[in-house]
Amino acid sequence: MTRNNNTKTIASFAGLAVLIMIGTMFFPMAAAAAGQHGGQHVANGNKVDANRSQEQIEIAKQNLKNAQNQFRITKDRLEDAQDIFHDSRNRFMQQKEKFAGARTTQNGNDLKHATKDYLNTTIEYTIIRLESLIDKAETAEENGNAPFTSTELFGGYIDDLENLKSEVEIAETKEDFQAITIEIRDIWQHIYLESKYFLMGSAHNKGGSFLERSEDISQRIEAEINELDEAGEDTDKLKGLLDDYNDALNEANMNRNRVTNRFENHDGFNNNGELSDPKAARQFLRDINRYMNQEHHSLKEANSALRMIFAELKEHRPGVVNLCGTESVEADGDGRAALSGDLTVNLSADSGVLTITDFAGDARINVTGYDTKKEIGYDTVIYNGTDGSAQISGSSITVVIKGEGIELFAEGTGSAILSGYGTYTAYPKDGESITGEWAAPVYTDEDETVETTE
């Protein structure tokens, strides 16, 4: 090849690479990742689980924090790769402009090297994004939420991209670079559409258990309302809120069924999740996204109604004490006592499990007489085998004691939920003391604890 022909070849493939690759290559992947976070937001509703113990909740919170730390590490790595990619792109654009102004052999060779570097950083950036996607895929597959097994599929694209690096290294002609660019574009189309299918399918599968638990909560709330009716309480507001909650759940279920039906057909993809028809696949994903957004909106409305139901139920339940200002409460009994707010708490127990969560990081804690101490994350401590006393104070704390022979005194601003067998006396700032009995809950207070401590 002559120097003049070499210069013309570089000019032609440089323009081709820019037109095909730059505009659409990476930012759609960011959109796919954002779609997954939307699914995670829907799945965050899964935190309400009436059957979990407090310790299980704290372990789940720690697992979430670990995942968030890993996400930050991956995010930093992606940002570094993106910076390198943009630097390479800028060098390529500068060299292209320089060559357009002076089509010398030296400028042509410099543009050729800049283009190869740009293609290689494009490939490397895509590989790092694929590795991040595989991490998410492995987690979804382990949890049973994956719509198809994708790790081998996505891993195969990494192998394909690695092989392209050697092709870039030896590329010399316009046809060489055209072939590489077309292959990268084809791989990218597969990655983009298949990853969206996988992430949306995983989010959909994860959301099913939340709807099942929500329906179970609805039934238990209805049972409690019926008991209040029999006791002569005014439950009109509660019934209206429960109707709103059930309507929102029904709407969410309807949209969820639409999503399920579309996933069963998975137009544009084969049974292994591999792209077969790009046009059909894009329409399929648009439909899925629309229905999932509608389901998410309905779930937000359901959660809003549920929070109002919890607040209203507290006004009717025995064993619930709201603390305001300098009000205080003392109680003794067997069962479970949960206190949240800006509080000072003194308690003792013959045996039990004490969990303290310090949301503000300013709690002062003194606990005596326990068998084991376990730290969950940076804000929660669990004392097992508690047979002694504790003094806890803080501006934003949750204290949960489960066991026998519980005696406690608390003052400040917040709430106390007492369930089991015992009595309490509340001392308002102005007015006479109020005495009552601990509640025998229809369902466990974890349903409310998650809501009130966030």
User: How far, CA to CA in Å, does 423 sit from each of 93, 337, 349, 420, 435?
Assistant: 77, 11, 15, 9, 7
Residue 62's contacts (CB-CB under 8 Å, 6 or more residues apart) are 376, 377, 380
Beta-carbon-side half-sphere exposure of residue 156 (alpha carbons within 13 Å): 9
Nearest to 129 by CA among 64, 199, 224, 61: 199
Q: Could you read off the pLDDT of 306-345 as tens digits, one per residue?
A: 888 887 887 776 666 666 655 789 999 999 999 988 899 9
- Hey, is 267 helix, strand or coil? coil
| 192-218 per-residue burial string, b: 16 or more CB within 10 A, e: under 16 | bbbbbbbbbbbbbbbbeebbebbeebb
Nearest to 440 by CA among 418, 415, 408, 423: 418
* 109/39 Cα distance (integer angstroms): 48
Counting as low any pLDDT under 70, the low residues of the chain are 1-71, 317-326, 378, 441-454
pLDDT of residue 197: 94
Q: Angle 234-235-236 (CA atoms, 0-180°, nearest 5)?
A: 100
Long-range contacts of 99-103 (CB under 8 A, 24+ apart): 99/10, 99/11, 99/14, 100/11, 103/7, 103/11
DSSP H or E stretch at residue 339: strand 328-348
Torsion of CA 198, 199, 201, 206, to 10 degrees: 130
pLDDT of residue 385: 83
pLDDT of residue 66: 66
